[in-house]
Structure 1
């Protein structure tokens, strides 16, 4: 068997093993080490040096320093007990809109997801807070479930997204430019979600009955006070972090450190910072960061051996030989990523499969930043589409017993189509994602 054939076998065998449920990071490392012996004729010194080199490259990657800091910021904000205040204030402010509770849920999800970037946390918390509130007010179960699940996934796209940091580290694209590029597509997707809800409610008001007048008839002073004590502090924290990054006042790592400190101050101001919560946040941050780190060690080892065997050249030659147009390549690659989102999580897609497409971007004349924005939109579906569909499963875990998983799946389907519409809009009007990076950074 030739080296390129071994490379293809390596990729096929890896996909088979992860479908069986083997741990991703350690499967990557085991496959890398095992096939490295074949690639380097059993030279154990070369294999050991390669593993050490790849581990060291992850430890010294400046871009990845921001990951634990942003994750820590998210866990602290999550435990600051401001979500109920935030939801209530936005609910009061949007009371006159059709489907006001759903709109308030999406707005709260967008802001809170921006602060945390942790899909499971946002979906779970909103499932405990907003989902029962919508059901109590007679909202349709499927519409309510779709709103919570789709809104909770916005943190994958809206900066400061951990996914964009990992894509930047993988593709060699500046996370700062990715943040600038993802800003308007994130707002566009959240806006499309809200527009969909309002249109559906206007067509069929029974899906989301208006709130009783007694609940909406609140003095403006009360609404302003609620917004000033919940929405404003969190918004200031988020935009100060993003502004520092986008305008070059701080690197992503420095801004993440500022954000982590700001989250601690915010939690203390709300009198919700305790030793137990701090310890739990540190533990969860360490666990999440370790998972990301080992994934990168494994993927770097795997990709190095895969390239040494000539596997990437085989795939590149095969795709080039198909004589695809750039448009066809974009469509095919996004369909593959969409399908991969059914059994896999976004981390595996970014660190394992995206590097297979990256060498082809230059051939087709595609901007890696634009490609990353399409992937960031596409990966929203990996949390929503069955059979894995982590967001519906998170919601099912906290939903009332009468809500079944099939209703939740039916509820998220329209939002999956909205994501696909957003991808089409971004492709047809690429300036949605590229205008801000060009204006600020001359990209």
Structure 2
């Protein structure tokens, strides 16, 4: 049997295992280990052990539990709810102002958490009821919350970028910096869309009546103080790292300790909340570790088979495609896979194939990490298996139907695709900040 046929058999076996409902890490890891044993005998079983040892030696892996802990601690302590009250007053006088405030809240939550799930939960439980009560269009605000929460995997500290950095062997610090301007660009595009829609049809997002938003400036400033602690934690954490005072892992510890202090300072640190945060942190961290270990094992087998060279020969040699044509095909395949797989599954499936090929084609792997992350955002919102669709359906009130949720994401998915095209056309949007900071340092 040819190596190409073995690689195709491995890939199809993995996909079939996932379709039966197996966990991602189990499907990938078992196929990798079994294929290695059949190809190279008893020694092939050592691939799984080697992947485990390689994983445990990755010092940067310590950032995962730290940032996940920071996000859940800030979310569970109610700081996000305080922030939304401030956005409510400051933006409420504009048409669509509360929707704009929700986008702002999602950006802040993204900088606090690094995951999409937390922003989704906060937006659906805090912002959505208030927006509906104020007469906002249910379809528009459903899309705003889903799109805004997806920024959590692009704006630093992004946990997905940590995962990409480990598999692609790229500096996590540069990946985070590369996600700053693209994340803000997408948030700006979302805001522009909301402003235009509400300007054309004011009924979609009515402004708050004056009696609800008119208050002395001193009262508004007191409400704005809700954002001081999370912003202080974020800038302290990222500032120390960018100035070279702390390493990446040490900065993550600063963020975790800062979130713990913020919860204590607010008087909301209880044993019940502490246990809940630790359980959530442990669960998410273990999931990521299993997935990385399985991906390393699967990737080692693929690399040994020479599958990357075979695909490169097919696309470049036989089909005669140029680098940009191949890159566009990759992104299209990501968008198709995103309708059926989550972000981690997509990464571990294509990482052994796409990432080395992207490097050989002459593209920057940090820049490509941003493109991959944006496609993950789109995957979170595309049926039939978009995570954010399921979360919104579970948390939304009865008047928002599944059809409404599906309709709500269409314009925002198109906006994300537009944002991805802009970043492909102008790579410096992603690369200027990491190049500037690291060259200067």
State the TM-score bracket (shorter-chain normalisation): over 0.9
Deviates more, 1:393-402 or 1:68-77: 393-402
CA distance, structure 2, for counterparts of residue 271 and residue 352 of structure 1: 45
* Larger relative contact order (CA 8 Å, sep ≥ 6): 1
Contact kept, 8 Å, 1:179 with 1:246, in 2: the verdict is no
Calculate the TM-score normalised by the size of structure 1: 0.96
Contact kept, 8 Å, 1:237 with 1:259, in 2: the verdict is yes
Q: Which residue of 2 aligns with 1:164?
A: 161
Q: Which residue of 2 aligns with 1:241?
A: 237
Q: Which residue of 1 aligns with 2:5?
A: 5
CA distance, structure 2, for counterparts of residue 84 and residue 74 of structure 1: 14
The one-character-per-residue Cα deviations of 1:12-32 (angstroms, maximum 9, x if unpaired) are 221222122211111112111
Segments of 5+ residues of structure 1 without an aligned counterpart are none
Q: Which residue of 1 aligns with 2:215?
A: 218
2:141 to 144, 147, 154: 144
> What secondary structure sits across from 2:135 in the alignment?
coil
CA distance, structure 1, for counterparts of residue 78 and residue 228 of structure 2: 15
CA distance, structure 2, for counterparts of residue 145 and residue 362 of structure 1: 38
Note if 1:119 corresponds to 2:111.
no
Q: Which residue of 2 aligns with 1:32?
A: 32
Contact kept, 8 Å, 1:114 with 1:154, in 2: the verdict is no
Report how far residue 366 of structure 1 moved: 0.7
Report how far residue 47 of structure 1 moved: 2.4
> What secondary structure sits across from 2:31 in the alignment?
helix
Q: Which residue of 2 aligns with 1:311?
A: 307
> What secondary structure sits across from 2:246 in the alignment?
coil
Note if 1:282 corresponds to 2:278.
yes
Report how far residue 150 of structure 1 moved: 0.7
CA distance, structure 2, for counterparts of residue 76 and residue 362 of structure 1: 38
CA distance, structure 2, for counterparts of residue 70 and residue 10 of structure 1: 34
1:134 to 125, 131, 135: 131
The one-character-per-residue Cα deviations of 1:385-422 (angstroms, maximum 9, x if unpaired) are 11111112212212111210110111111110110111
Calculate the TM-score normalised by the size of structure 2: 0.97
Contact kept, 8 Å, 1:123 with 1:395, in 2: the verdict is yes
Contact kept, 8 Å, 1:19 with 1:343, in 2: the verdict is no
RMSD: 1.4
Note if 1:358 corresponds to 2:355.
yes
CA distance, structure 2, for counterparts of residue 242 and residue 199 of structure 1: 34
1:380 to 373, 377, 383: 377
Contact kept, 8 Å, 1:3 with 1:39, in 2: the verdict is no
